[in-house]
A and B are shown apart, each in its own frame.
Chain A
Amino acid sequence: MGAIKGALSLFGGTLRDLAPIVLIVAFFQLIVLRQPVDNLAEIAIGFLFVLIGLAIFIRGLEMALFPLGEALADAFARKGSLIWLLLFAFALGFGTTVAEPALIAVSQEAAKVMAAAGAIDPGADSEAGYAKALRYTVAVSVGFALVIGVLRILEGWPLQWLIIGGYTIVVGLTTVAPAEIIGIAYDSGAVTTSTITVPLVTALGVGLASAIKGRNPMIEGFGLIAFASLMPIAFVLVLGIVAGAWA
């Protein structure tokens, strides 16, 4: 009985989250575009999977990702080794980003754009080399972002000045970077924060801030994601400027 009730509340919440999408697609298809939908069966099956998948994922989030992030934060705080904590932060940022499929796609796209613009030599070899360089640049930048973010939690530095300062640098770089790289740079900031990394990193930040005396989990606990989306933009812009200066 309890299980059924639990499942109902689980799917009920998710259904409410997905209702706007269904309503909007139906409204635009039936009223604005006035076209019948092809493959209705496939879409219905797909939608069912979205519903089940999201509900199960949220359950897993609370069972695994949040406790795991908190347990790690707690263990590192108790161990008291700054070097290992920072190494872990770097590894987490680098490791979760370097294999990210969205990033692989964006970096290949970027290599094509740069070759077409004449910033790098056209040809499969130099494009693949550039794509790889870009991918590692972004991954290293996310690693660094988490290191700085963790240091900030430990030291209690105010987030707003770091982020606003960072964005001022990004805006400055934007004015001197080649036009073709700008869109890619801003996109790379957005693709680095994946669905599994975000809950884990959030739980880690909140856990660290709760474990350290004098830190407020609400103020110091959040902010890691902000660094992880800002840093790649700056790094990719610099890469574009350097590659442009080379050519």
Chain B
Amino acid sequence: MTLLIELAEALLATLVTTLTDVAPIAAILLGFQLGVLRQRIPNLRQVLIGSVYVVLGLGFFLFGLEHALFPVGKVMAAQLTDPAFVGGGKPAAELVWHDYYWTYLFAFAIGFATTIAEPALIAVALKAQEVSGGTIRARGLRIAVALGVAVSLVVGTFRIVTGTPLYLYMIAGYVIVVVQTLYAPRMIVPLAYDSGGVTTSTVTVPLVAALGLGLASTVPGRSPLLDGFGMIALAALFPIIAVMGYAQIGDWMAKRNLRTNARNGASEGGTST
């Protein structure tokens, strides 16, 4: 019973916080609507109900994260980066980068799973599907972004374990982004750039930070201050590569299909295109 009362209080506190977060946005929208635009919002009733849904939904979501996912995720990140677990008895100083295989797997899995559940990414993916007329599938886009984050966390883990400087990875990543930008279908580029900023949000950041800090404080010779950050920077970069790659692969497959069809058509002497 006490658990339920505690939870109810915490839920109320989270809802109040969410409401405070929304207040400035609501004030700006209202101010411009009434003071500058002076136009009625179409379907005002629906928008108001929807706004209540947004606040309630986000409040519930954050409350649930704080009581289910974050505590478990943080404990797991601490356990999986603990030298006693990683080395299986080997002293921490003798661990080499491939001793951390469970940590890499965990980084990949948690990066993928949290990104799939990221509400801001769901929003952008839905919009992209709508605007592209279904050419870009919301689910495909989200999986591409999630794979990008997953790989970035593996690379980030490797970087902290080996102690190589962050800027090397960032520069290499940006060179890939620039080259891809030149060759990727033009339609995907802005969406890809946006997906970099969207991924590192509510669900992903706290767990990624926990993983980074756990590693930086247990790997000998790392500073949580200087090495613990940087995971998030990589997690914002790799999805750009992944989304452009997703479009490039789609493009390439479509072209190949077209070619095979054309060839089949020619050999049959038919009229198929």
Q: Which residues of A contact B (CB under 8 A)?
A: 17-18, 20-21, 23-25, 27-29, 32-33, 35, 37, 39, 41-68, 71-72, 75-76, 79, 84, 88, 91-92, 95-96, 98-102, 113, 159-160, 163-164, 167, 171, 174-175, 179-180, 182-184, 186-187, 189-191, 193-200, 202-203, 206, 216-226, 228-230
Contacts and interface: CB of A to CB of B under 8 A. Distances in A.
Given A61-B126, A226-B197, A88 B186 contact: no
Interface in B93-147: 102, 106, 109-110, 112-114, 116-117, 119-120, 122-124, 126-128, 131-132
A37, A53, A191, most chain B CB atoms within 10 A: A53
Chain B interface residue number, banded = 35 or more
A174 B189 CA distance: 25
Contact of B57 (A35, A60, A194): A60
Nearest to B204: A190
A183 B47 CA distance: 39
B200 interface: yes
B27 A95 contact: yes
A53 B122 contact: no
Interface in B224-267: 225-226, 228-230, 232-233, 235-236
B196 A56 contact: no
Contact of A51 (B24, B42, B64, B114): B64
A50 B194 contact: no
A33 B29 contact: no
Interface string B199-216: 011100100000000000
Contact of A171 (B52, B112, B174, B187): B174
Most chain A Cβ neighbours within 10 Å, of B54, B61, B106, B189: B54
